[in-house]
């Protein structure tokens, strides 16, 4: 049977393979592209899968080209899946003012319920269900019984909500400078209002702070957060203290604050090895 995943590029990297695929997405109703790093170990055995979610304005390529994660993934024997951050293409709506924080490049990893977004902006279902199913149905050497998820900023929010809502799938969560309470920051309230409507009760299932307040701590998924203290978005958008205050003392939430680091991929590249090592201890 012909694969629904079309390989569009392949590069050798740290003795593994950096791959890029295109495919039709049914849930997003558009064509999509994603990246997948396979470490050298994948030649002989299925490897654990770590999903990376990028932030506002990104495609699948920002992480692949800027984070320097492949060196660590190769050493640890981890595959890294990097999806895009929103649906794209003809007919997919964007913000009327083409703002960077809504619409294209800003899917927020939620399932939109409001027009005109709902027809395409179903990024939660895409990341949690459709993309893993496509990978399972391919012949790629991935071990789906060992998965973790991490991300940056909007993607850190995505990793937190997806990991917290699916403890049976993801063994650990990592986040760089995440939006921890989208219902309490300008980026989040703008996006959730557009995608989910004015009623903030509908936002709770998409808000990491609300999820950690409500979660069953017997099934707590370990979390590592890295946050730069020179991050330009720290006080207005990210507000990590809201999550730290909401989590019970016993929750396995490990928070690392880093003096002098900003919001950029230079920060991510500086600590991606530590994040992957943390995720790997739970796989």
Q: Is 275 helix (H, G, I), strand (E, B) or coil?
A: helix
Annotated catalytic, 153? Answer: yes
Distance of CA 30 to the CA centre of its chain: 20
Distance CA(233)–CA(76), nearest Å, equals: 32
Catalytic residue status for 231: yes
Among positions 57-116, residues that touch ligand LAXINWYW (CB under 6 A) are: 57-58, 62, 66, 100
Binding letters toward ligand LAXINWYW, positions 39-58, x by CB under 6 A: ----------------xxxx
Please, are residues 123 and 28 in contact by the beta-carbon 8 Å criterion? yes
Site string for ligand LAXINWYW, 182-221 (x = CB under 6 A): ----------------------------------------
Give the span between the Cα atoms of 246 and 249, in whole angstroms: 9
Q: Which DSSP category does 222 fall into?
A: P
Residue 194's alpha-carbon distances to 66, 96, 121, 165, in angstroms, are: 30, 12, 11, 22
**Does position 153 bind ligand LAXINWYW by CB under 6 A?**
yes
Instruction: Report the distance separating Cα 109 and Cα 119, nearest Å.
Output: 14
Q: Would you say 194 and 140 are in contact if contact means Cβ atoms under 8 Å apart?
A: no
Q: Give me the residue whose beta carbon is nearest to ligand LAXINWYW.
A: 55
In this structure, the strands spanning 16-25 and 47-53 are unpaired
Toward ligand LAXINWYW, which CB reaches closer, 22 or 264? Answer: 264
Among positions 264, 269, 273, 274, the unique one binding ligand LAXINWYW when judged by CB under 6 A: 264
Catalytic, out of 25, 35, 86, 153: 153
Q: What is the nearest approach in angstroms of ligand LAXINWYW to the Cβ of residue 4?
A: 29
Residue positions annotated with a catalytic role:
153, 231, 263
Residues making contact with ligand LAXINWYW (CB under 6 A): 55-58, 62, 66, 100, 152-154, 263-265
């Amino acid at each position: 049977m012909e694969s629904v995943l079309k390989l569009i590029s392949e590069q050798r990297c740290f003795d593994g393979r950096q791959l890029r695929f295109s495919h039709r997405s049914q849930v997003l109703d558009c064509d999509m592209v994603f990246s997948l790093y396979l470490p050298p170990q994948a030649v002989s055995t299925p490897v654990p899968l770590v999903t990376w979610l990028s932030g506002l304005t990104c495609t699948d390529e920002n992480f692949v080209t800027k984070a320097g994660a492949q060196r660590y993934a190769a050493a640890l024997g981890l595959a890294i899946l990097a999806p895009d951050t929103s649906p794209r293409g003809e007919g997919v709506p964007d913000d009327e003012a083409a703002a960077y924080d809504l619409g294209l490049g800003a899917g927020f990893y939620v399932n939109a319920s409001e027009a005109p977004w709902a027809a395409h902006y179903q990024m939660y279902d895409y990341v949690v269900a459709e993309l893993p199913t496509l990978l399972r149905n391919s012949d790629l050497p991935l071990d789906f019984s060992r998965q973790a998820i991490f991300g940056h900023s909007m993607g850190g929010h995505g990793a937190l909500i997806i990991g917290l809502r699916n403890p049976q799938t993801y063994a650990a969560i990592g986040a760089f400078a995440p939006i921890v309470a989208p219902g309490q920051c300008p980026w989040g309230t703008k996006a959730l209002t557009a995608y989910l409507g004015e009623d903030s009760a509908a936002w709770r299932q998409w808000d990491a702070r609300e999820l950690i307040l409500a979660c069953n701590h017997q099934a707590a998924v370990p979390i590592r957060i890295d946050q730069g203290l020179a991050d330009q978005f720290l006080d207005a958008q990210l507000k990590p203290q809201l999550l730290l205050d909401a989590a019970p003392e016993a929750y396995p939430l490990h928070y690392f604050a880093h003096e002098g680091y900003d919001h950029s991929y230079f920060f991510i590249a500086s600590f991606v090895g530590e994040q992957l090592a943390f995720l790997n201890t739970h796989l």
